[in-house]
Amino acid sequence: MDFIDNIVSNRLGGKNFFNENKIFKFEKLKKIRDELKIKYPNIKIIDMGVGEPDKMADKSIVDTLSIEAAKEENRFYADNGIEEFKIAACSYLKDVYNIDNINTSNIVHGIGAKSILSMLPTCFINTGDITLMTVPGYPIIANNTRFVGGSVYELKLCKENNFYPEFELIPNHILQKSKLLYLNYPNNPTGQIATKEFYEQALEFAKKNNILIVSDVAYGPLVYNQEKPLSIFSVDKNMEYSIEIHSLSKAFNMTGWRLAFLVGSQKSIKVFSTVKSYCDSGQFRAIQKAGIYALTHKELIDINIKRYDRRFDLLVDALKEVGFKVEKPKGGFYCYVPIPKGTKDGINFKDAEEASHYILNKAFISTVPWDECGAFLRFSVTFEANSEQEEIKVINDVKQRLLNLNLVF
């Protein structure tokens, strides 16, 4: 044991950090996938586990970045963001979410939603405080709550409750210590969307228990079947009990660009901006200006919605033919389905992870397993295909590979 072993923080496991051999499910899937590629170089793995858009940002956004990157005025630190980006964000919120009571003092940019979520516990969580975290879900705010000495209480998103948290089941001793409530709609991985009635229920709960809602709408504009994008601020009009994170990653295919923004009351934004100023010096100004172009061209989102909507129709029909119980999701870009029981050959799946690994090894289709509340597989419609004809070919291939497994439901 050397010097570094002795000084690793307890929040990371202390002296045991380098002895722990935890391999998380995404790492396991990548490992299996990469091994299969080497072992079977002539078989294409269909990757439906990807969590990012299949296309790069539109050429118009890329061209804007190129032009702005060459300007000397954009070489300086952005700190907590340029004013023009905040103005564009206000316009975007009005155009997409019909929220018109927000000004630039209610907005601060972030280097991606992940960065924003990682800083929020520092803003609000003291030792012993609790973050209420919906699961399955994106674990960033939960892990960072633990890092600063808080703890996490999980709210299960179960099919029996339409993938909404059951606030009434939270024990009083948990509520007394709770400070933050994390919500994510449209939801990853379930595909459920928020309704105004649900947000009203969440706001009533937050007011009663003095809890701040952290609304993560990374997939916000990606809704289908005549559904409309919905913000928590359609209910919490004074922004007293809520803050909301908007990302350009999913809607505008800008995942690697790392650009998002936080919306909240002036006090919430001031608290966050203070912490942020000690963590980063802002995203490159040219990227923010490319983001301005994106935010003011909503038609770019519509192109993605049309593609994902088309692919969902294909995938849902194919999965139904195989035997999966599946409904077209209302938002996001994931299909969330109960696992098969096993195969006609006598194989039984004990959980989603086992089913996912079997499908990957035998059918060369990568999915993501979730076992937090029932056993489910997540199929993404962000698979690689460059035309509608290719999309049909991929989905037909997926269907035939799954049929060949002789799955039992």
Q: Give the whole-angstrom CA distance, residue 54 versus residue 63.
A: 19
Structurally, at CATH architecture level, domain 23-52+300-408 sits in Alpha-Beta Complex (3.90)
User: What are the sequence ranges of the domains in the chain?
Assistant: 23-52+300-408, 59-297
Backbone angles phi, psi at 322, to 5 degrees: -75, -30
**Residue-level length of the chain:** 409
Look up residue 336 and give its two tokens: 């969330």
Look up residue 51 and give its two tokens: 């969590």
DSSP 8-state code for residue 348? B
- pLDDT tens for 229-280 read 999 999 999 999 999 999 999 999 999 999 999 999 999 999 999 999 999 9
Write the single-letter amino acid at 372.
E
Task: Report the pLDDT value the prediction gives residue 313, as an integer from 0 to 100.
Answer: 98
Q: Please state, in angstroms and as integers, the Cα–Cα distance from residue 283 to each residue in 60, 107, 301, following that order.
A: 20, 15, 22
Backbone angles phi, psi at 226, to 5 degrees: 65, 10
Q: Give the whole-angstrom CA distance, residue 239 versus residue 106.
A: 9
Task: With a cut of 70, say whether residue 112 has pLDDT above it.
Answer: yes
Task: With a cut of 80, say whether residue 23 has pLDDT above it.
Answer: no
Lowest mean pLDDT, pick from 11-25, 64-78, 134-148, 306-320: 11-25
Task: Report the pLDDT value the prediction gives residue 5, as an integer from 0 to 100.
Answer: 87
Write the single-letter amino acid at 309.
D
Domain 23-52+300-408 shares a fold with domain 59-297: no
In this structure, which topology does domain 59-297 adopt according to CATH?
Aspartate Aminotransferase; domain 2 (3.40.640)
